[in-house]
Structure 1
Amino acid sequence: MQFFKELWASRELLANLVLRETRGQYKRTVLGRLWSLLNPLASMLIYTFIFSMVFRIQPEAGDPSGLNIFPIWLMCGLLPWGFFAGSLNATSNSLLANTGLITKVYFPRSVLPLAAVGTLGMNWMLEMLVLVIALLLVGSQVLIWIPGTLLLMLLLAMFASGLGWILAIVTIHFRDTQYLLGILLQLWMYLTPIIYPASLIRDMSDRFGGLLNTNITVFDLYTLNPMYHFVTAFRQLLYDNRWPDTIHLVTCVGWTAAAVLVGVFVFNRSEKKIAEML
């Protein structure tokens, strides 16, 4: 509880750090905050061309929305993933990037990874707003699902923060972590149904059957990926226009609780030694 009390007491510092990073992120650039929209837009165009036009991958139409637009379907998964991956990259380097501040003045160090997540969250809010506008233009009834989407966004931010506290400490001990993380995130992305529907993995799993003469299938292992459940839940809210399946919500909450608890434990054990280790 002391961990969260210190975070609450430092809420003004957290807000100032997020504001500082948000203002300085695109300072002296011509397009400014538009860059936060152009990056996912470029990814959408590339993936749409490769997977929709070249490989002819076509996900099922939204149920019950009836939407059948690959770029929109793609963005409903790409934006949550982009926020999550960006958060892990930023939090892993958050303590090292603020070495001067840490060694000069005392404050709860846990604020720094949280500020990194908050900064990316500001960009993510803008991206999701544009996605909602695009959904409205194609006839989606997405407005009534906005509250649920916001709650799921908060849940994903908490999940990323929990992992971020762990990564921030690990990176201090092993500086190669930030480089290894980039490789792992690339692999993780392709193990998540972002640019292809999960039904492809399910069909393949059905053909293979149980592994090693057991009832465990490839798809069973595939669903152990927490981002599978987050991405599916976001698509069900935004693209399908329905409440996510219970299994996805329960799994998202479970992974978030586990990540936060482990993150707090790991960070607490090393927080007093952070300045020395830097």
Structure 2
Amino acid sequence: MINAITPINPHAAQPTSPVALIKSLWRNRNLIVQMTRREVVGRYKGSVLGLAWSLLTPILMLAVYTFVFSVVFKARWGTDGDESKTQFALVLFVGMIVHGLFAEVLNRAPGLIVSNVNYVKKVVFPLDALPVIAMGASLFHAGISLTVLLIAFALFNGYLHWTVVFIPFVLLPLVILTLGVAWIFASLGVFLRDVGQTVGIITTMMLFLAPIFYPVAALPEEVRPLIMANPLTFIIEEARGVVILGRMPHWAGLGIYTLVATSVACAGFAWFQKTRKGFADVL
């Protein structure tokens, strides 16, 4: 159990190794689960429908996507004239789920420490767990959205591809990468308050610079390298592959992505641990 009243030295140096990261996550696993649950429930506290909003929101969004793109814009993802009117909305929804998982955590990261000043100065608390808790809440909502997507796909098409079982393996590298970047932004948000606004702009840019509203094949050759450089692009394409197309994941690509993501996560954790001793002075 975490002792919530024991005073600490906020300027003490913290371990920065990957082993320390794993030990911290394991040691504080119960706290992370409890605070993630509180985070999810607290988001809808006071509302009439409560947690039902986590289910209704993706359903409403999917309905809007279907109407706007298949009815208003009459959009099609491919050139097949027999493509279902709902197909574009389903393909789009996959991209939105991936981007939402990524953007929700990063947009919150710069304010995680600033909004929990008491954890910095007065109590024993694993500050490095705050981005993990934010990720847990984001994963909960992404899971609800993914469930809605799979149900809609089954209703519209009459079947599900068995390859959907690989979706956790597709999303895992992005989760690792996002955590690493979130630790960096959480630290920078303490010292540079403009980081919050900057991150919001970056995540919005990444929304439009990823193949969410359009296929990569529809872009001019000279633009494609820019889109492929977006870390969301590969994950979105792989997620669509296993969910929409029934295609096996690109295991080699996922392996390389995971190695890079793990390096970023370790570097982000080390940065956070090295800079956290200055949090108390700024806050």
TM-score (norm 1): 0.84
Q: 1:198 aligns with which of 213, 216, 226?
A: 216
Q: 1:147 aligns with which of 145, 165, 168?
A: 165
When residues 247 and 44 of structure 1 are mapped into structure 2, their CA distance, relative to the original with a 3 A threshold, is: farther
2:232 paired with 1:227: yes
Equivalent residue letter for 1:275:
A
Alignment of 1:57-76 (within 5 A): 57-60=75-78, 69-76=87-94
Flag the structure with more relative contact order, 1 or 2, with Cα contacts below 8 A and sequence separation at least 6. Answer: 2
Give me the whole-angstrom Cα distance separating, in 1, the residues matched to 2:228 and 2:252: 11
Partner of 2:202: 184
* Aligned-residue identity in percent: 29
Give me the whole-angstrom Cα distance separating, in 2, the residues matched to 1:25 and 1:69: 31
Give me the whole-angstrom Cα distance separating, in 2, the residues matched to 1:61 and 1:73: 14
2:166 paired with 1:161: no
* Deviation digits for residues 93-132 of structure 1 (CA, Å, limit 9, x no counterpart): 2111211232210222100111111111112111111111
Q: Is the 8 A contact 1:44 1:74 kept in 2?
A: no
Q: Is the 8 A contact 1:226 1:255 kept in 2?
A: no
Give me the whole-angstrom Cα distance separating, in 1, the residues matched to 2:197 and 2:161: 40
User: Pairwise CA RMSD of aligned residues?
Assistant: 2.4
Partner of 1:208: none
Q: Is the 8 A contact 2:97 2:145 kept in 1?
A: yes
Which residues of structure 1 form unaligned runs of 5+? Answer: 206-216
**How many residues end up aligned between the 2 structures?**
262
99-108 or 192-201, which moves further after superposition? 99-108
Deviation at 1:50, TM superposition (A): 5.2
When residues 61 and 10 of structure 1 are mapped into structure 2, their CA distance, relative to the original with a 3 A threshold, is: farther
Q: Is the 8 A contact 1:86 1:120 kept in 2?
A: yes
Q: Is the 8 A contact 1:192 1:228 kept in 2?
A: yes
Q: Is the 8 A contact 2:109 2:189 kept in 1?
A: no
TM-score (norm 2): 0.83
When residues 48 and 133 of structure 1 are mapped into structure 2, their CA distance, relative to the original with a 3 A threshold, is: closer
Which residues of structure 2 form unaligned runs of 5+? Answer: 1-18
Give me the whole-angstrom Cα distance separating, in 2, the residues matched to 1:24 and 1:54: 36
Give me the whole-angstrom Cα distance separating, in 1, the residues matched to 2:44 and 2:196: 22
When residues 241 and 106 of structure 1 are mapped into structure 2, their CA distance, relative to the original with a 3 A threshold, is: same
